[in-house]
Chains A and B, each alone.
Chain A
Amino acid sequence: MTFLSFLISGLSLGSVYAIIALGYTMVYGIAKMLNFAHGDVIMVGAYVCFFATTRWDLPPTVGVLLAMVVCTALGVLIERLAYKPLRSAPSLAVIITAIGVSYFLQNAAQLLWTSNPKVFTSVVGNSSIKLFDGGLTISVIAIITIIACIIIMAALTWFTGKTKMGKAMRACSEDKGAAQLMGIDVNFTISVTFAIGSALAAIAGVLLCSAYPTLMPTTGAMPGIKAFTAAVFGGIGSIPGAMIGGLLLGIIEIFGKGYISTQLSDAIVFAVLIITLLVKPAGLLGKQTTEKV
Chain B
Amino acid sequence: MDKAKRPETKMVPVPSTNLVPERDVDKLPVLEARNLGIEFGGLTALAGFNMAIGRTEIAGLIGPNGAGKTTVFNLLTKVYQPTHGTILLDGRDTNNMTTVQINKAGIARTFQNIRLFSNLSVEDNVKLGLHNNINYGMWNGILRLPAYWKGERRAHEQAMELLSIFDMQDLAGNRAGSLPYGAQRRLEIVRALATKPLLLLLDEPAAGMNPSETAELMENIVKIRDTLQIAIILIEHDMNLVMGICEGICVLNFGKIIAKGTPREIRNNPQVIEAYLGKKKEG
A170 touches B77 (CB 8 A): no
- The answer to whether B128 has its CB under 8 Å from any CB of chain A is yes
- The answer to whether B124 has its CB under 8 Å from any CB of chain A is yes
Interface size class of B (residues with CB under 8 A): 20 to 34
Please report the C-alpha to C-alpha distance between residue A264 and residue B111 in the assembled complex, in whole angstroms: 53
- The answer to whether B191 has its CB under 8 Å from any CB of chain A is yes
- The answer to whether A114 has its CB under 8 Å from any CB of chain B is no
Known: A181-B77, A185-B100. A171 touches B128 (CB 8 A): yes
Contact partners of B116 in chain A: CB under 8 A: 178
B103 touches A182 (CB 8 A): yes
Contact partners of A181 in chain B: CB under 8 A: 77, 79, 99, 103, 108-109
Q: In residues 59-98 of chain B, which contact A (Cβ within 8 Å)? A: 77, 79, 98
- The answer to whether B229 has its CB under 8 Å from any CB of chain A is no
Contact partners of B99 in chain A: CB under 8 A: 177, 180-181
B115 touches A180 (CB 8 A): no
Q: How many pairs, one residue from A and one from B, have CB atoms within 8 Å of each other in the complex? A: 69
- The answer to whether A225 has its CB under 8 Å from any CB of chain B is no
Contact partners of A168 in chain B: CB under 8 A: 128, 131
Contact partners of A291 in chain B: CB under 8 A: 119
Q: Chain A's interface: helix, strand, loop or mixed, by majority?
A: helix
- The answer to whether A165 has its CB under 8 Å from any CB of chain B is yes
Contact partners of A57 in chain B: CB under 8 A: none
* Per-residue interface assignment for chain B, residues 109 to 144, with 1 indicating a CB less than 8 Å from any chain A CB and 0 otherwise: 101000111111000100111011010001001100
B129 touches A170 (CB 8 A): no
Residue among B104, B128, B192 with the highest chain A CB neighbour number at 10 A: B128
Interface size class of A (residues with CB under 8 A): 20 to 34
B131 touches A184 (CB 8 A): yes
B118 touches A183 (CB 8 A): no
* Per-residue interface assignment for chain A, residues 69 to 89, with 1 indicating a CB less than 8 Å from any chain B CB and 0 otherwise: 000000000000000000000
Please report the C-alpha to C-alpha distance between residue A185 and residue B99 in the assembled complex, in whole angstroms: 9
Please report the C-alpha to C-alpha distance between residue A182 and residue B124 in the assembled complex, in whole angstroms: 12
Please report the C-alpha to C-alpha distance between residue A164 and residue B118 in the assembled complex, in whole angstroms: 16
- The answer to whether A280 has its CB under 8 Å from any CB of chain B is no
- The answer to whether A175 has its CB under 8 Å from any CB of chain B is yes
- The answer to whether B195 has its CB under 8 Å from any CB of chain A is yes
12 A-B residue pairs with CB within 8 Å: A164-B131, A165-B141, A171-B120, A174-B117, A180-B98, A180-B99, A182-B131, A182-B191, A182-B195, A183-B103, A184-B131, A186-B100
Other contacts beyond A175-B117, A178-B117, A182-B195: 10, CB < 8 A = A164-B134, A167-B127, A170-B120, A180-B98, A180-B103, A182-B103, A182-B131, A183-B100, A185-B100, A291-B119
In order of increasing CB-CB distance, the 8 nearest A-B pairs are A183-B103, A178-B115, A180-B99, A171-B117, A183-B132, A174-B117, A182-B129, A175-B115
* Chain B contacts to A: CB under 8 angstroms: 77, 79, 98-100, 103-104, 108-109, 111, 115-120, 124, 127-129, 131-132, 134, 138, 141-142, 191-192, 194-195
